[in-house]
Structure 1
Amino acid sequence: MAGSSSPWIGSAYLFLQSTCKSIALPALYESSQKKPGVFKALKLALADSTGSMNGVDMLKVHCSHPHLIVQLKFCKRESCRRFLQSYREGTLQKSLQSHLQLSLATSTVPLETELKAGSEHLDSVLKDEDHCLECIYREKPDRLRDEEITELEESLKSLTVHQSINNNMTVKDCTPLSPPSLPPSSPGSSLSPQVTFIFQGQEFVNRTLLPDDHQKFAKLVSKKWKQVGRSLQKSCRALRDPVIDSLALEYEREGLYEQAYQMLLRFIQSEGKKATIARLISALEENGLISLAEELLGLHSNEDCS
């Protein structure tokens, strides 16, 4: 493995294929209209997997029907480890499906994934994380970032700044968090109006909520789901009264899990890309659910969340 004074750099290829016959990822990426949406989904999903916008770099996207092949570069061992954990648990796949759905304004895009480092097929040895890290570390990037990737990055940054300005001017009542809870936006560095937020003195990527977040919330929030819903309703019209009480009655027989699940589902469906982890964490903090917030952010607290 790398020496203490040497940077940890490795490379891998992520193979993506849609299992839906009517959706061909290479064709979407080759389309000048769809390419920015596909790129944005890839960028966001990879950021979700490492917990940082800079955790992994895309060097090139290859179209090799029926696969879309993304050449990845890792500059930190810990970022690569987080990526592998996300990939192994299926979180990366779910995140990418979610972001593709939002970016392309389409129905769910079912995906099959494969991860390779050189001649090694890593999917069969994912449980041996150290072996996977060693394989990726052995494969040094054979190219610099493709010019097309750089152009897409710049276009995405410009679009984000434009959207952020528009949001600040026209969507006053949908502000994710009060100013003291989040640092100011950094123009040009975000894929959403707020790229990072602070929780317990640490900085986290402000990503969209994932299916795993949704399920953990419903499982752990218990009786306080209504309180969290009322905190979210301050900036979400879909949860305004009497929606929360109606959900409680409608799903009373199914129990607390389903009530909490349906409440957050309303929030996600209504807010779309603005249904971010920062907004949910703020609502949890407001109601004293710190251990649940820690769980969602991967801080592995063992405290009771109810």
Structure 2
Amino acid sequence: MAGSCAPWVGSAYLFLQSTCKAIALPSLYENSQKKPSVFRALKLALADSTGSVNGVDMLKVHCSHPHLIVQLKFCKQENCRHFLRSYREGALREALQNHLQLSLAITAVPLEMELKAGNEHLDSMLKDEDRCLEYIYREKPDRLRDEEITELEERLKGLMIHQSTSNSIPVNDCTSLDSPSLPCPSQGSSLSPQVTFIFQGQQFANRTLTPDDHQKFAKLVSKKWKQVGRSLQKSCRALRDPVIDSLALEYDREGLYEQAYQLLRKFIESEGTKATIARLVAALEENGLISLAEELLGLHSNEDCS
């Protein structure tokens, strides 16, 4: 594919269309008040799909009714491979639906997606991952990032800094950027809400999990609830593999939301005041669920964009 010394760079187009007649994605994106919310949902869903906030770069968003077309640039084959699997398994669609629902404060956004690299329609060959990667690698980006995208990126970063500053508390001596997401050890026998932890260079109070955290986790974690459970089990005996498997079977008919909800319920009931946001954020980070961690920390609350 690429030479051993050459950087891996490729490009693709993601076509998005709402199947609900009352929701037109291009119209929402063309609306100056709604555009930042749509962009934020795209950014978060793509971060989920690549396992990194910088896993893929949006170069331009085209409005071509009824489609919203996103031009993507990948700079690492690993991120692109992760994206393809997320797209193939439907995780990207589900993540984008959920983030649009939260950002726009609407009930549901049913979506259809199509992925292209040049003239190649990749949907018909998704099982052949290497072939898809080859086509994406051949399709080099034909533009720099659009100025509008840069402005939206800066606006989103500014919002995150503002909200994280509002949520942060004074730094304790024992906190360190060298150990992100790990709670600072307390002097007592358990973690207290006053302990702080670092996430993406920002500091947060290590509070106990709330009912709102519980519901957001269950709604957004999707198919990765088992992986998060296995990350939590390293410090929680109540979440051993047999327990996780039992939850999967017992709540199979109720679906992913209920399975994830029951998993976190088990964690909270078992750990009590030690069921903290820092432990959950660390488990989410370990499984590439960066945007969900940011959601739980209040970095993506709906804003007034007027």
Identity, % of aligned pairs? 64
User: Using a 3 Å threshold, how does the CA distance of structure 1 residues 193 and 220 change in structure 2: closer, same or farther?
Assistant: closer
Residue 213 of structure 1 aligns with which residue? 224
Could you tell me how far apart the structure 2 residues matched to 1:277 and 1:91 are?
24
Partner SS for 2:168: helix
Report the Cα distance in structure 2 between the residues aligned to 1:125 and 1:183, rounded to whole angstroms: 41
Aligned length: 234
After TM superposition, give the deviation of residue 184 of structure 1 in Å.
4.7
Quote how far apart the aligned CAs of 1:212 are: 1.3
Counterpart contact for 1:87–1:93, Cα < 8 Å: yes
- Corresponding residue of 2:303: none
- Residue 136 (1) aligns with residue 136 (2): yes
The residue that corresponds to 1:186 in the other structure is 201
CA distance in 2, matches of 1:164, 1:213: 26
Q: Report the counterpart of residue 63 of structure 1 in structure 2.
A: 63
Paired position in structure 2 for 1:245 = none
Q: Is the 8 A contact 2:232 2:280 kept in 1?
A: no
Alpha-carbon distance, 1:213 to partner: 2.6
Output the CA distance in 2 between the equivalents of 1:193 and 1:100.
Answer: 26
Secondary structure of 2:102's partner? helix
2:150 maps to amino acid: T
What amino acid is aligned across from residue 154 of structure 1 in structure 2?
E
The residue that corresponds to 1:203 in the other structure is none
Mapping for residues 1-306 of structure 1, pairs under 5 Å: 1-168=1-168, 178-179=183-184, 182-186=197-201, 209-214=220-225, 255=250, 260-263=259-262, 279-280=279-280
Q: What's the C-alpha RMSD, in Å, of the aligned pairs?
A: 3.9
TM-score (norm 2): 0.65
Larger relative CO (CA 8 A, sep 6+): 1 or 2? 2
1:177–1:28 distance in 2 versus 1, CA, 3 Å:
farther
Check conservation: 1:45, 1:99, Cα contact below 8 A.
yes
Structure 1 residue 183: Cα displacement: 3.5
1:209/1:277 contact within 8 Å kept: no
SS of residue paired to 1:97: helix
Q: Which amino acid aligns with 2:201?
A: S
Contact 2:232 2:279 in 1 (8 A): no
* CA deviation after TM superposition for structure 1 residue 280, in Å: 3.0
Is the contact between residue 163 and residue 193 of structure 1 (CA under 8 Å) also seen in structure 2? no
Residue identity opposite 1:34 in structure 2: K
Structure 1 residue 261: Cα displacement: 4.2
Amino acid at match of 1:183: I
User: Which residue does the alignment assign to 1:236?
Assistant: none
**Residues 26 and 63 of structure 2 are in contact (CA less than 8 Å); yes or no, is this contact kept in structure 1?**
yes
* Gap regions ≥5 residues in structure 1: 170-175, 195-205, 229-251, 268-275, 285-291, 299-306
Write the deviation string for residues 3-31 of structure 1: whole angstroms up to 9, x where unpaired.
11111110000000000110000000001
Measure how far apart 1:44 and its partner are.
Answer: 0.6
Q: Say whether the 8 Å CA contact 1:118–1:139 is kept in structure 2.
A: yes
* 1:213 partner amino acid: K
